[in-house]
Amino acid sequence: MMESLKFRIKRRLETYLELDIDGIRKVIIDLLLKLKKLTVDQLYQELNRKFNVSYSAVASMIGYIHSKLGILHAYKESYKTPIVYSLKEEYIDIIKSALHKSVIAS
């Protein structure tokens, strides 16, 4: 049962990255791998250096990755603090291989 879930997540992630027209999705996944934890604000600041992207677009991308791909934890310390996103440890290898595959394909 667990392997099939990992397989489905890997397939979803690969499809998500295949549809990456401007490279922004690869950068987001790569940043998550490198930084381990980030907020929408941090991600927006990082992406804004390379891409012309709005804050709400960044928020919706991270929301999509969280809800549809299932590879992120979302943690909020209190109602006043921003949500902190981090990769789920059990999917790190899958994420790295999907990212590597997408870099080779592009």
What domains can be seen in the chain, in order of their start residue? Answer: 2-105 (1.10.10.10)
Whole-angstrom distance, CA of residue 19 vs CA of residue 41: 24
Q: What is the pTM of this model?
A: 0.89
Is 37 a residue whose pLDDT tops 60?
yes
Identity of residue 10: K
Is 103 a residue whose pLDDT tops 80?
no
CA distances from 79 to 25, 63, 82, 103 (A): 28, 18, 8, 38
pLDDT-based confidence at residue 1 (cuts at 50, 70, 90)? low
Task: Provide the pLDDT for residue 102.
Answer: 81
Task: Provide the pLDDT for residue 74.
Answer: 96
